[in-house]
Amino acid sequence: MDNFKILFGKYIYILGVVALFGSTGLFAYLESIELDVDCEDKVCKQGVVCPINCSISNPSYQSKYLYNYNDWKIIFTPEIENYELYVLYYNKWWFTNFTRETRFTNIPDARKYVFVFPRRTTKEFQIRVILNSTQRIKWDFGTLDPVIVGYKYMYENLSKQVSVYRKDLIEVKENCFSNITTLSTQCNPAYNYTTKTLTGYKTEYYDGKRIGVDVGGETYNTPNLNINAKEGYLYICKIPVGDRNWEEYPMRQFEIDKGVCKKIDLLK
């Protein structure tokens, strides 16, 4: 798992909050100053970095400036511990927490504002989260109501017995002797070698074939199902569907028509 920075003080949340923006939260505050905020719903695999895109537009003919004199927090419900915020700047994603330390290079040091939304422009943001559960997470950002749904695949829990060995390093010292034929002293150089001795056995656990998926707190693990989560949908086939690339071809329409496979919208 990536080692995320700790943002906004000790706690990292997303549903509203803060010393700077009041009790309504960052995005609600941005809407209150007449910026248009749009964030996508997202299905995220548990334990890996998941980017969630947001667009914030300033439709007015006046630039909007943000000032941050205090630390502030954003709150998720349920809580998300691992989270970072990035903004697109010159075609690169820049980490930001709206402090003086993370201001863009085009903001002079003498200025007190930490971020600016220029007039008639749109800024692209990306919230990168790492989920530690498959719970369905709701946001409340003013008029926004986006959703984060986590999922993880389930596999057969298999085990096997493996041998356990002890390795010992054997040191052989230099050995010198007299050669009566040549009337000289000869030496065999020192060297080391390793021995391996069986000391017992241990149980080693590993994943077998995929048997289901836990998504949004609900488990799909009916035997013999072919299951895949992709781009906000869960694909389930009742019978084996052959050796296909599931990432590229999650399902086919004729399989849906026959009732062999179905497609579930995870964001509804």
| pLDDT tens, residue by residue, 72-85 | 455 567 777 777 88
pLDDT for position 201: 92
| pLDDT tens, residue by residue, 152-161 | 888 888 999 9
The residue type of 123 is K
Task: Report whether pLDDT(11) > 60.
Answer: no
What does pTM read for this prediction? 0.62
| pLDDT tens, residue by residue, 234-248 | 888 877 666 666 665
pLDDT for position 122: 94
Query: Comparing 240 with 49, which gets the higher pLDDT?
Result: 49
Radius of gyration for the alpha carbons in the chain, expressed in angstroms and rounded: 30
* Strands annotated E in 173-265: 175-179, 184-188, 191-215, 218-220, 226-230, 233-237, 261-265
